[in-house]
Amino acid sequence: MHIRDKAFALPDVYPVTDTTRQNFVIAIDAWWAIVRPFVTQHVVMREARFYDVPEGGPFPNKDPRGHMGDPQLIHNFSNPGTNSSGALPPQVATSVTFKTAQRLRWGRYYLPHPARNTMSDKGAINVDFADALLAGTHELTRRDGNGACLTVFSHKYWDHQDPESIQVDDIFDVIRRRRYSRPVFRQTLPAG
């Protein structure tokens, strides 16, 4: 995620400072307080890392993340999820979409490891969880007051757009690279 500074009468392109980063840590705390009751207790939110976007981009044919340099701030949280209903498989995640003014420049993040009771009896995301994700994510995108807010950054155009709306639907996403690498249990039986 990318952030920008926000303050009354401040242009939306303004250097991000240490104070801005600390203010966004407060927003992340507010987000996690709303979302963590729906995340399994086996998952711990460990840290947030803040990097400066380097000048001179875009960097064609290169991974932009490799150009971020050293972190400007690493904030440790060590806060586990609080849901004890059990975990869904690790490749199951929930997506949250940030709709901007231009369709091709929308953003998204994935929240991994929702708890078992976030699933409805039809195998979809239950409404309470979807509403909590919307409310929590709103804490990250709010542009009222002072502090920092989430924005959608374009590595192609090397600029950002503010989200106009947040969208959560009731379909779980599957991120295959997050699946277990080896079985915890395996049993065989002769077929003959």
Distances (CA, A) of 117 to 22, 90, 93, 114, 184: 33, 15, 14, 8, 22
Of 76, 80, 1, which is closest to residue 33 (Cα–Cα)?
A: 80
pLDDT tens-digit profile of 63-107? 555 566 789 999 999 999 999 999 999 899 999 999 999 999 999
The Cα 39–Cα 92 span in angstroms is 12
Peptide bond into 183 cis (omega under 30): no
pTM, to two decimals: 0.86
> Looking at the predicted structure, is the pLDDT value of residue 61 above 60?
no
Dump strand ranges (E) for the chain.
Answer: 2-6, 44-50, 73-80, 92-99, 107-112, 147-154, 159-161, 165-167, 173-174
The Cα 51–Cα 18 span in angstroms is 11
**Mean pLDDT for all residues in the chain:** 89
Q: Contact 25/98 with Cβ under 8 angstroms?
A: no
> Looking at the predicted structure, is the pLDDT value of residue 142 above 90?
yes
How buried is 153 (Cβ within 10 angstroms: 0-12 exposed, 13-18 middle, 19+ buried)? buried
Domain boundaries defined on the chain: 2-178
